[in-house]
Structures are given as C-alpha cells and as structure tokens.
Amino acid sequence: MKKTFLLLAGSAILFASCGGNKEADKAAEQAKADSIANAAKQDSIVKAKDAEMQAATAAAAQHAADSTKAADEKAAAEKGSKGGTKAHAAHSTTTTKTPAAPVPTKSAQDSKFDSRNGNNAQTSKPTPEQQKAQDAKFNGRK
C-alpha cells in the first residue's frame, strides 16, 4: 500500500510539472516582446542621433569651405583692385614684401652668456674674481 501511494504521489507531481503554467509562459513571452520592442526603439533613437550628427558635421564642413572660398575671393578682389586691371597688371612690375623675420627672444641661458661676456648693456661686466668664480662653477657642472 505504501508503494502504491508513493507511485500515485510521484505521478501526480510529474503531471503537474509537465503541464506547465500558461500564465507564466504568457508573461515571459510578453516580457520578451517588450524587450525586443524597447531594443528596436533604442536602435531607432541611436540611428536618428547618428544621422543628426552626420548632418551637423556635413554642415560645419560646408560652412568652413564656404568661409575659405569667401576669404579667398575677398583677397583676390583686394589684390585685383590694388593692381588695376588684369591687362595692366600683366605689364606692371610688382614687388612682394617679404615678411619681417620675428625677433628672437632671449632665453635665460642667452642672458647668462651675454652677461658673462659683457654683451648685455643692462648688466655690468663682472670683476676678475667674479669671472673666476663663474668659470669654476660652470666647469664644475661638467
């Protein structure tokens, strides 16, 4: 009798687990469908933002090209107005100004060198004792 009871209880548990819960399955399917819909929505948002960024980049590049073209045209117009007509400009001699070389700035090392050699008008020439001390200090670094 004990074996029969265990057999019946086991088969009842087996049938209960195999039947499945249709409500739980529906909820899982709904969650899966919602997840797919949300992923598609996010994907469309990302694609829209990407298209917007590409359009903004293209607009910026076009603006830069237009600005460069306008500046070139303005420079050509100014050059043309200064030089006269093209026929006249072909026969005239033009001199181009070379840009002035930038004035080099002195570094601290240059200032020390100038002051040691008496090349700097703002400093006085060191005495022989100071010169020997500077030479010894300089030679000691090597």
The whole-number pLDDT of residue 51 equals: 93
The residue-averaged pLDDT of 50-65 equals 93
User: What confidence category does residue 76 fall into, taking pLDDT thresholds of 50, 70 and 90?
Assistant: confident
By residue count, the chain amounts to 142
Contacts of 78-81 with C-beta under 8 Å, sequence gap 24+, read none
Q: What is the CA radius of gyration of the chain?
A: 45
Q: Which of 7-11, 12-16, 22-26, 67-71 has the highest mean pLDDT?
A: 67-71
The more confidently predicted of residues 135 and 107 is: 135
pTM summary value:
0.35
Rounded to the nearest integer, the mean pLDDT of the chain is 78
The whole-number pLDDT of residue 25 equals: 78
Q: Which of the 8 DSSP states describes residue 121? A: T
In this structure, of 22-31, 37-46, 103-112, the range with the lowest mean pLDDT score is 103-112
Q: At 13, list the tokens.
A: 């548990």
The whole-number pLDDT of residue 50 equals: 93
The more confidently predicted of residues 141 and 47 is: 47
Cβ neighbours of residue 55 closer than 8 Å, sequence gap 6 or more: none
pLDDT in tens, 94-134: 556 666 666 666 666 776 666 666 555 555 677 888 888 88
Q: At 132, list the tokens.
A: 């020997």
Cβ neighbours of residue 120 closer than 8 Å, sequence gap 6 or more: 111, 114
Q: At 78, list the tokens.
A: 């100014």
